[in-house]
Amino acid sequence: MLQQTTVGAVGPYFQKFVKRWPTMRHLARARRNEILKMWAGLGYYRRAHLLHDCAKTIVRDHDSRFPETEEKLRALPGFGPYTAAAVAAIAFGCRTNVVDGNVERVMARLFAIRTPLPQAKAKLRDMAATLVPDQRCGDYAQALMDLGATICTPRNPKCGLCPWNKNCRARTLGIENKLPRRIKATTKPVRRAIAFFCINRKGEVLLRQRPQKGLLGGMMEIPSSAWRAGVMPDLAAARAEAPVKARWHLLPGAVRHIFSHFELELGVAFAEIGAAAARKNGRWLRLDRLDREALPSVMRKIAKHAMNFFPS
């Protein structure tokens, strides 16, 4: 949960998860849809899929106990080099090289590495490896990450409080605020589509389930045309991708949402139909229950936008 997300945001989700599924066996037996509902709002939903897959792997292959070496942890679903090293060091006391963004920043300054990120990652990892102690590796890993998070901060580092300030080459050179260097990020590509907000005479809105694999995998969504690069699609052309045949009306304005690797712009079309028939993977949900549904943030934005024009 803490990957790409702050402790403050994760806290309530973690408490709900361990209360609902207190052991690996409980989590492994859970239904994927239940996990996704509990995860809703936390973002990066692929993590929820990997969390479930990891629990099932641990129960099936490791008798419900986490493996205790970095190599074996690395083989678990969702475990990259950083997570495997961190768990091995902090939970099991292994001598591992734990490197996250905070540690990269500390190393760039400590050794005055001028090569910009991300090209410098391998060198920064090598530098960090030279400092890993033989004892109390978990304490060291946490202390180093906290040093980067609270003292060696991205801007205005508190060098006077740093235990390594006399050994820091960047501080000696007076360039601590200029490191680490980064290549200027490129502008995110934009994808566009038409979302179809459809209600029936019972006051129900049509939702459907997204494919299990891919972005927002397995989550419920407000149907839309495919998210494509280029100009906003014309409603007349997009009707072929509508979930049901209806008299669709394009609402004013648009919904915008930013994902990690692209931006999404959605026009919203509205229709009211008499029948409540839905296509495969679709289901109807009462409007007054929409707030309780585990919808991704972008879907909530679509619903809110459409409801602004919904006749009272």
pLDDT tens-digit profile of 112-129?
A: 999 999 999 999 999 999
What one-character DSSP code corresponds to residue 24? H
The two structure tokens encoding residue 38 = 């509990």
Phi, psi of 276 (to 5 degrees): -115, 30
Long-range contacts of 169-178 (CB under 8 A, 24+ apart): 169/109, 169/110, 169/111, 169/112, 170/108, 170/109, 170/110, 170/112, 171/109, 173/112, 175/112, 176/109
Residue 311: predicted pLDDT: 54
| Integer Cα distance of 97 and 53 in angstroms | 26
Please give the pLDDT value at position 279.
Answer: 58
Residue type at 132 in one-letter notation: V
Residue ranges of the domains in the chain? 7-92, 101-178, 190-307
Q: Taking the model in full, what pTM does it have? A: 0.71
What was the pLDDT predicted at 46? 86
> 295 with 216: CB under 8 angstroms?
no
Asked if the 101-178 domain carries CATH number 3.40.50.960, the reply is: no
In CATH, the architecture of 190-307 is Alpha-Beta Complex (3.90)
- Show the tokens assigned to 109: 């300054």
CA distance 108 to 119: 12
Cα torsion at 34, 39, 44, 50 (round to 10°)? -50
User: In terms of DSSP bridges, do strands 220-221 and 255-258 run parallel, antiparallel, or are they unpaired?
Assistant: unpaired
Contact status, residue 209 vs residue 218, Cβ threshold 8 Å: yes
d(CA 301, CA 255): 7
Supply the pLDDT for residue 36. 87
Is residue 296 a contact partner of residue 273, using CB atoms and an 8 Å limit?
A: no
Largest CA distance in the chain: 75
The topology (CATH level 3) of 7-92 is Endonuclease III; domain 1 (1.10.340)
pLDDT value of position 277: 61
Neighbouring CB atoms inside 10 A of 69's CB total: 13
Q: What is the mean pLDDT of the chain?
A: 91
Of 138, 137, 159, 139, nearest to 148 (Cα)? 159
Question: To 10 degrees, what angle do helices 32-39 and 46-61 make?
Answer: 140
Distance CA(196)–CA(305), nearest Å, equals 12
Ranges under pLDDT 70 in the chain: 275-281, 310-312
Would you state the torsion angle of the CA atoms of residues 227, 231, 234, 238, taken in this order, to the nearest 10 degrees? -20
Question: How confident is the model over 150-180, as pLDDT tens digits?
Answer: 999 999 999 999 999 999 999 999 999 999 9
pLDDT of residue 216: 86
Predicted pLDDT at 43: 81
